[in-house]
Amino acid sequence: MFDVIVAGCGPTGLMLASELRLHDVRVLVLDKETEPTKVVRALGLHARSIEIMDQRGLLDRFLALGTQHPVGGFFAGIPKPAPELDTAHGYVLGIPQPTIDRLLAERAAELGAEVRRGCELVGLSQDDDGVTVELADGTQLRSRYLVGCDGGRSTVRKLLGVAFPGEPSRVDTLLGEMIVGAPEELMSAMEEIRKTQKRFGAMPLKDGVYRVGVPAAAVAEDRSVPPTFEEFQEQLRVIAGTDFGVHSPRWLSRFGDATRLAERYQVGRVLLAGDAAHIHPPVGGQGLNLGVQDSVNLGWKLAATIAGWAPEGLLETYHTERHPVAADVLDNTRAQMELLSTEPGPQSVRRLLAELMDFEVVSRYLTEKIIAIGIRYDFGEGHELLGRRLRDVGLKRGRLYELMHRGRGLLLDQTGRLSVEGWADRIDHVVDVSEELDVPGVLLRPDGHVAWAGDDQQDLVAHLPRWFGAAVN
């Protein structure tokens, strides 16, 4: 019997498996596909996800294979310079999803997670002690918990009967990688076409191959069927007047602007994360990042529940914290899609917003929505840092994020007078000082969010059980 079965071997599932293995949770990851996908659904990591990789000691692996780009111009593609941001990683890390998948799979394997491919989940049932999973070949597996990280068409969500309300796609965009016969003509035409048609674009890769996107003629009835290359060529001719001599496609796909959010992230011992819990248009590149951040929020809470020290209601905070975050992403992607419309009304709103973004505070606010460093969970009244993630800060003996690789809680004590005695099995106590942190002491959850700040030992002891359970005598 496993502690947790994770359905889905994408970034969300692999990140979750790694987070659970940091706490010695027995994890099995299942995926119905026999091989990792070569389709590049996402192109990189935003600041909060970069911070997470740094917190877990993984960032060097990603930096070695990625390219750093400026943050400016991400909200609806409105070209503005990058604002001043409260992060040590004020860039977008360009790295294709198949590479992200591979790096996360390597990490999960290093930590001891078991991955089985070619295993399609077709049934589930649960009782007071665990979950029984049925595979397409008739095999039955048993675990204490199941997490559906199996994408927007999630089998787990459907089997649970969790409602997935929202809006269907109104427009489709075709996407693919192919060789372009007339690259100079394409890049020249793109500049002019994108003045009005923001969903048209191309990006050079290697060896004459380009990633090309073009508006589809209509919304597909069957979204699981990829477009044909002839359909792609025809749409290029409709939009640009030529197909630029494209040929030899590597892969073709389509995406829409549907927005849907699961009503519940948890039903008994079964939970949902990533696209299984929320789908939205890809504008701003938030989807993969949102799923990875779901996993980091969920992982330590699920591990604590399995280990037996979780305070009552801890696992339920996964839904109460992450559901509003996803709702906000759905809203900002809806707004961005409106601003990409070629209609006069949305275009006038776009021009007005472009003017407002000349104010630094507006540009920073919208950018922080995209890169997810502005999130504040509701932990109640308290210090201004409470509920927020803490940026990496320099210490006298290193960096804060270097101390978070094990995925444990952390008390950064600049006074030398605080204590987490009774919780040392789940919280690291670090006595050090930072010129960048204007607070005597700060307690971080394993996901990097501030659970307490101050210098009063009695107040700290009063807050510790909320997130870290009862003290061990």
- What is the 3-class SS of the chain, one letter each residue? CEEEEEECCCHHHHHHHHHHHCCCCCEEEEECCCCCCCCCCCCEECHHHHHHHHHCCCHHHHHHHCEEECCCCCCCCCCCCCCCCCCCCCCEEECCHHHHHHHHHHHHHHCCCEEEECCCEEEEEECCCCEEEEECCCCEEEEEEEEECCCCCCHHHHHHCCCCCEECCCCEEEEEEEECCCHHHHHHHHHHHCCCCCCCEEEECCCCEEEEEEECCCCCCCCCCCCCHHHHHHHHHHHHCCCCCCEEEEEEEEEECCEEECCCCEECCEEECHHHCEECCCCCCCHHHHHHHHHHHHHHHHHHHHHCCCCCCCCCHHHHHHHHHHHHHHHHHHHHHHHCCCCHHHHHHHHHHHHHCCCHHHHHHHHHHHHCCCCECCCCCCCCCCCEECCCCEECCEECHHHCCCCCEEEEECCCCCCCCCCCCCEEEEECCCCCCCCCEEEECCCCEEEEEECCHHHHHHHHHHHHCCCCC
**Domain ranges (residues) in the chain:** 2-166+260-371, 172-256, 394-468
- Look at 76-90, 259-273, 385-399 and tell me which has the smallest mean pLDDT: 76-90
Partners of 178 in the β-ladder: 210
Question: Is the per-residue pLDDT at 223 higher than 80?
Answer: no
Domain 394-468: which topology? Glutaredoxin (3.40.30)
What confidence score (pLDDT) does residue 269 get? 98
Q: What is the pLDDT of residues 120-166, one digit of tens each?
A: 999 999 999 999 999 999 999 999 999 999 999 999 999 999 999 99
Tens digit of each residue's pLDDT (9 = 90 or more) over 185-195: 999 999 889 88
What percent of the chain is predicted at pLDDT more than 90? 88
Which residues on neighbouring strands pair with residue 133, listed in sequence order?
124, 141
The pLDDT assigned to 72 comes to 82
- What is the pLDDT of the chain when averaged over all its residues? 95
Query: Per CATH, is 2-166+260-371 categorized as 3.90.1640.30?
Result: no
Q: What are the pLDDT digits (tens) for 293-346? A: 999 999 999 999 999 999 999 999 999 999 999 999 999 999 999 998 888 999
Q: What pLDDT is recorded for position 40?
A: 81
Give pLDDT, residue 77. Answer: 87
Window from 68-82, 89-103, 151-165, 371-385 with minimum mean pLDDT: 68-82
Q: Write down the pLDDT at residue 447.
A: 98
What CATH number matches the domain at 172-256, 3.30.70.890, 3.30.70.2450, 3.40.50.1820, 3.40.50.720? Answer: 3.30.70.2450
Read off the pLDDT of residues 228-284 as tens digits, 9 standing for 90 and up.
999 999 999 999 999 999 999 999 999 889 999 999 999 999 999 999 999 999 888
Say yes or no: do domains 172-256 and 394-468 share a fold. Answer: no
Q: What pLDDT is stored for residue 208 in this prediction? A: 87
402-421: pLDDT as tens digits: 999 999 999 999 999 999 99
On the question of pLDDT at 96 being above 80, the answer is yes
Give tens-digit pLDDT for 444-470.
999 999 999 999 999 999 999 999 999
pLDDT at 196 over 90: no
Per-residue model confidence (pLDDT) at position 348: 95
pTM passes above 0.85: yes
